[in-house]
């Protein structure tokens, strides 16, 4: 599962679009955690898609991650600032790849 203390345990490696990526990043095998308020551990995500289907405010979009061992697409928290903290994505992800930190 995603480390809920990732902000303490990891460093920001880069930006992707408008959000942070928490490292380590070593492409294509190791991709880190995308987002901060809505954080998706790309190294855990298996592209189940429940988060994209269920988020009421459309926070996620697919991004291509060719040659990653778990899946070749990932749920990117592209609009994390729109999150209303309903926690649905956290509940539905089958591999606990998502952390949402209200407040």
CB of 81 to ligand F3S, least distance (A): 18
Closest CA to 84 of 48, 58, 47: 58
Does the footprint of ligand SF4 cover residue 86 (CB under 6 A)? yes
The one segment of 29-37, 46-54, 80-88, 94-102 that binds Zn ion by CB under 5 A: 29-37
Three-state secondary structure call for residue 8: helix
Instruction: Return the half-sphere exposure (C-beta side, CA atoms, 13 A cut-off) of residue 7.
Output: 10
List of residues contacting ligand F3S (CB under 6 A): 40, 45-51, 75, 92-93, 95, 97-98
């Amino acid at each position: 599962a995603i480390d809920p203390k990732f902000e303490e345990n990891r460093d920001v490696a880069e930006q992707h679009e408008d959000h942070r990526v928490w490292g380590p990043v070593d492409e294509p095998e190791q991709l880190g955690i995308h987002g901060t308020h809505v954080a998706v551990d790309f190294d855990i995500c298996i592209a189940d898609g429940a988060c994209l289907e269920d988020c009421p405010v459309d926070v996620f979009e697919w991004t291509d991650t060719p040659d990653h061992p778990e899946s070749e697409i990932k749920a990117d928290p592209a609009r994390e600032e729109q999150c209303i903290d309903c926690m649905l994505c956290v509940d539905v992800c089958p591999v606990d790849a998502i952390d949402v930190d209200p407040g």
